[in-house]
Amino acid sequence: NVSYIPHKLVHSDQCYSRLMALKRMGIVNNYEKIRKLCITIVGIGGVGSVAAEMLVRCGIGKIILFDYDQVEWSNMNRLFYQPRHIGLSKVEAAGLTLSSINPDVIIETHHMDITKVETYEFFLDSLETSGLTFGHPVDMVLSCVDNFEARMAINSACNEKNITWFESGVAENAVSGHIQMIVPGKTACFACAPPLMVSAGIDEKSIKKEGVCAASLPTTMGIISGFLVQNALKKLLQFGKVSDYLGYMALTDFFPTMTLKPNPFCQDNYCKIRQDEYKLNEKQQPPDNCEP
Ligand code: ATP
Ligand code: ZN
């Protein structure tokens, strides 16, 4: 597990001023807040690696990467990794590339499967204490994994630690994908509404068929990565509106959005606790229709 500590502040002045123009143009009021944010990404494959690169180029304060896999030739039809990375763990290869793109960013990497008993505890602890300021929680989690078990582990951890996260997925046929924002207690969690994934035809990849080679396209994965980071930034820097669910159907250029309310009978106990907290909080506060 490696930390790439920034050695100089070089995210070039020109680059920084292009980002700060968002503030001058009235799009984002507090762009500089990005330097204080820490985002955890689980799954540094076709979607996660590109999402990490986008965040690093945007000047995020810290990213924490989790993945158990290594870079292979079969990953070369996606963006980010290069043939010289083959054989390295994905997190090591990503750490090297990302720190060279922007050495200002603190990059922490963990080559591990988050679903094992010992590592799950580590993952939980990391969510709670590895934020930019030591001992503080991370600000958000991005799920870029390709299986149900890992998504459920992220879901349980984020419900327990009360951390907003985005689920993402690309279908096995490579021509559709989605992102889903999960604010514990406020929106449906991954355990609240699994049938939605099935009905939208995007659960294929989470039930991996042994021996069947899934299709993948750098285009669809790049689009989903862009949706993911765009909406993570909108949520964290409070600009625009974030849909609970945003889909992408490449064959028809259809982008469905929907609202997803939590299920009061959710199987995840922490989800129900967060729902009660959210209801209580809502009762105590005047309604805010302008929330992003
Ligand atoms: P493919 O299966 O199509 O060859 P892939 O395994 O690289 O590709 P992607 O969809 O590109 O899959 O990326 C998903 C990433 O999520 C992979 O890098 C995988 O290692 C990672 N991942 C999946 N489950 C876990 C887990 N439990 N813990 C850590 N990383 C995980
Ligand atoms: Zn739930």
Q: What is the pLDDT of residues 181-206, one digit of tens each?
A: 999 999 999 999 765 554 455 544 44
- 237 touches 33 (CB < 8 A): yes
Question: Taking the CB of residue 287, how many other CB atoms lie within 10 A of it?
Answer: 7
Q: Starting at the edge strand that comes first in sequence, how are the strands of the sheet with 140-143 ordered?
A: 2-4, 106-111, 62-67, 38-42, 140-143, 165-170, 176-182, 245-249, 257-258
β-partners of residue 258 are 245
CB 132 within 8 A of CB 106: yes
pTM of the shown model: 0.91
Ligand nearest to the CA of 224: 1
What DSSP string runs through 65-124?
EEE--B--GGGTTSSS--GGGTTSBHHHHHHHHHHHH-TTSEEEEEES-TTSHHHHHHHH
Is the beta carbon of 169 within 6 A of some atom in ligand 1? no
How does residue 153 score in pLDDT terms, banded at 50, 70 and 90?
very high
Average pLDDT over residues 22-49: 95
Is any ligand 1 atom within 6 A of the Cβ of residue 81? no
- 150 Cβ closer than 6 Å to some ligand 1 atom: yes
Which whole number is the average pLDDT over 242-271?
96
